[in-house]
Structure 1
Amino acid sequence: MHRRFEVIPGAQAQVDWGNEAKILAHMGIPKVYSFHMTLSYSRDPFCCFTTGQDLQTFFDCHRRAFAHFGGVPMTLVYDRTKTVFRCHVAPGEAVPLHPEAVGFAGHYDFDVLAAYRPTGKGRVERQVLIVRDHVLSGRSFSSVEEMDAAFTAWVPQRRAQAHRAHQQIIGERAARDHVALKPLPETPYLVAERHLWPVGKDCLVAFGGNLYSVPARKVRPRQLVEIRATKSQVMLHSTVADNSGVTLLATHPRAIGRGVRIVEEAHWDGLPTGKGRRTTTGDDLPRPRPERPPGEQTGPLQALLHRAAATRIEVGRRPLSVYDELTGTRPFTTRPSTRETS
């Protein structure tokens, strides 16, 4: 049992993913996902299709949805997606948010709500099935852009229908929803992957199977730097700001593929190149030191270090009775046997 809820215009939107499986497998794209955002008051839908569910793609879909609606709702409802919530907690406890989700929500000024049961965001889950049945079913596509265009062409048809729940035209309620939305900020929020990684002895930082350079005069080997990567560029920051309060070390375009090395030559200024090393024709090379004859070995230590020379050291030989006289002990003698005395 649960309590049914209603919202006012512009108060809430619900977000969910849909798995469209291998709809583009014939084009060499293994998986396609659909991102959905539905305004809870009017059920006005938004949908776009992607080939991944990573952090940057997730919030890029948010920006596209806000542009589609012309504003930002006061709250967004999610399920337990890892791109928003860091871990699962028991009902009633505070849900820890992903740092990028906190920054994104603060930039666009909306609150994040966690649905503890499927019925908490049933409006967007129903929209996933509607888009699948009315936009994708029975059709073939060659790209995600073509799928996006198919949804955009279907939206006016959807807005002209009366919703079975509120019995009103979706487009009329959507107009009230759009007016109540918060305005979009002047600049979009830049979502980036963040990692800590050490600098190599060659002033290069490894990320995503590629190498990116940092200034040699500002780092030291094995120093940890922060990597902030977007889809188009990689920014390398120091963990400690310099005297002017700046942490940015370098900015590079993000490499495509793996095994790419992106180096700015100015970053290697001050490092030895080997061009100033002296060369010679070989005539003025220093002559090797002549070896000493075996008889010129000086001292017993050097003689012992060479086994051949050690064998030629003369050792004095004396009877054991000499040591007995020096120590005042009785020399060891054997007792004659009984057979001999008899």
Structure 2
Amino acid sequence: MDIRSMARQGYSQRRISRICGISRVTVKKYLTTQGMPRYEAKERRSKLEPYYATIEAWLEQDEYQASRIYQMLKGVGYSGSERLVRKYVSPLKEKQRRLAYLRFETMPGQQAQVDFGDFQVEGADGSVKTVYCFIIVLGYSRHMYIEFMERCTLQAFLRAHQHAFAFFGGMPKEILYDNMKKVVLKRRGSEIIWNAEFAGFAGHYGFKPMLTPPYAPWVKGKVERPIHYLREGFWRGYNFSSLAQLNKDVLLWVQTTAFEREHGTTRCIVGNRFSQEQPQLLSLPEKYYDISLRAWRTVQRDCQVCFSANRYVVPHQYVGKKVLLKILEGVLSIYYDQTLLVSYPLSDGKGNVVAEPRFYQALRHEREQNQRKYRRYQGKAKATRGLSTGSLNIEVMRRPLSAYEEVISCV
């Protein structure tokens, strides 16, 4: 039973208020107004409201974090909470990023975007391992280069760039990355500390590295959507046999299926747009950038140097000297004073000795020559006159052969 029904039955306002648990004033309002009584809440003004324009002006100047804005506001008299600042700043920053993204289309040769994806491979024995996919997409044409690798090392990352530049026949003026450690070590607002090896690589080739804003994945849509396209258009149902075969197959797919398609955003054939973009790419430098892993070693008495728990043999003439090891694409090359001494396939496992037979043959040959040389003078000592007495002293010149025995004992 409602208030008006009770009033029609003769209930007093006092009794109605007691039954309903409300005040008589409220009962009277119900009985004297048409419909339900309206209540207008008083408008409460936020402590932050006087500073809205100030915050927006600061964000126009730079990508300040909410915590920094809070500290700046305290300096101009704000007395509210940091949580209130964060609540107001967050949608403003997201709006700025999305507006920038909506305007973002690049001229031919201007920009490319880079990202990594991971893909699961099932072996014949049922075991599952992960392979990683490097993908770079040219912003204007949407032409792309894809390379799979077993490990996401910095060396593999830079090598994939070199392969991509060769594939495109040039490189864009700038490349957009997310905040991966291979590119940037630390980022705080506008302060960026680049990975030194990556910065040297970019400086050598002459492209400008750029970073996406944190937590704004839509900015790199040109590359993140192709990863989905790769999964559905190439990877699904693919029969993996080896990494080398996979990279051959995916490049064939890139050069045919992906190259000949009409892109969903540009509504143009990728290959047609690339023919316009390719002449605008930067030319590659004449000098190749050395991305090999480098290590110094001293050649031991057994003519060997150690790397990653395996031993590699060098010519015996370099015993005791420091040599430079360069490792690239599964090959270990040994240099002395910029001269290449030998190259070996990088050995798997541990405790292996990798040798060139000709090095030990050269050592045996020298040993035999020395033995014949000193055998000729056996029993024919050289006579010399003593410096003080004038007497004759007998000197027999001998080179210790034990050193050679130690060296070739391992053969």
2:307 matched residue in structure 1: 207
Q: Secondary structure at the match of 1:21?
A: strand
- Give identity over the alignment, percent: 29
Find out whether 1:169 has 2:261 as its counterpart: no
Report the counterpart of residue 146 of structure 2 in structure 1: 47
Matches within 5 A, 1:173-322: 173-186=273-286, 188-196=288-296, 202=302, 204-213=304-313, 220=320, 226-236=324-334, 246=337, 250-257=341-348, 258-262=350-354, 264-265=359-360, 273-274=401-402
**Distance in 2 (alpha carbons) for counterparts of 1:145 and 1:218:** 36
Does 2:262 correspond to 1:156? no
1:113 to 203, 210, 223: 210
Bigger proportion of residues as helix: 2
In structure 2, do the counterparts of structure 1 residues 121 and 54 end up closer, same or farther at CA, with 3 Å as the change threshold? same
CA-atom RMSD in angstroms: 3.5
Evaluate the alpha carbon distance shift between residue 23 and residue 89 of structure 1 in structure 2; reply closer, same or farther with a 3 A threshold.
same
Superposition pairs of residues 4-15 of structure 1, within 5 angstroms: 4=101, 5-15=104-114
Q: Deviations over 1:213-241 (max 9, x none)?
A: 56777675xx9765332235434567xxx
Aligned residues: 266
Q: 1:134 aligns with which of 233, 236, 240?
A: 233
Kindly state the Cα deviation for residue 130 of structure 1 after the two structures are TM-superposed: 0.8
The answer to whether the 8 Å contact 1:36/1:48 transfers is: yes
Q: Tell me, which stretches of 5 or more residues in structure 2 are unaligned?
A: 1-93, 368-398, 406-411
Shift of 1:91: 2.7
Would the alpha carbon gap of residues 276 and 177 (structure 1) be closer, same or farther in structure 2, given more than 3 Å must change? closer
Q: Secondary structure at the match of 2:187?
A: coil
Q: Which of 189, 214, 224 in structure 2 is aligned with 1:91? A: 189
Residue 294 of structure 2 aligns with an amino acid whose one-letter code is R
- 1:145-185 Cα distance to aligned partner (Å, 9 max, x none): 44332552354333344333333333322221112112234
Structure 1 unaligned regions, length at least 5: 239-245, 278-342
3-state DSSP of counterpart to 2:193: coil
> Which protein has greater RCO, CA pairs closer than 8 Å, 6+ apart?
1
Q: TM-score, normalized by length of structure 1?
A: 0.64
Moved more, 24-33 or 134-143: 24-33
Structure 1 distance, partners of 2:182, 2:295, is 15
Contact 1:210 1:255 in 2 (8 A): no
On the 8 A contact 2:263/2:270 being kept in 1, the answer is yes
C-alpha contact 1:160 1:169 (8 A) present in aligned 2: yes
TM-score (norm 2): 0.54
The CA distance in 1 between the partners of 2:329 and 2:200, in whole Å, is 18
> Helix, strand or coil for the counterpart of 1:94?
strand
State whether residues 347 and 354 of structure 2, in contact with CA within 8 Å, keep that contact through their aligned partners in structure 1. no
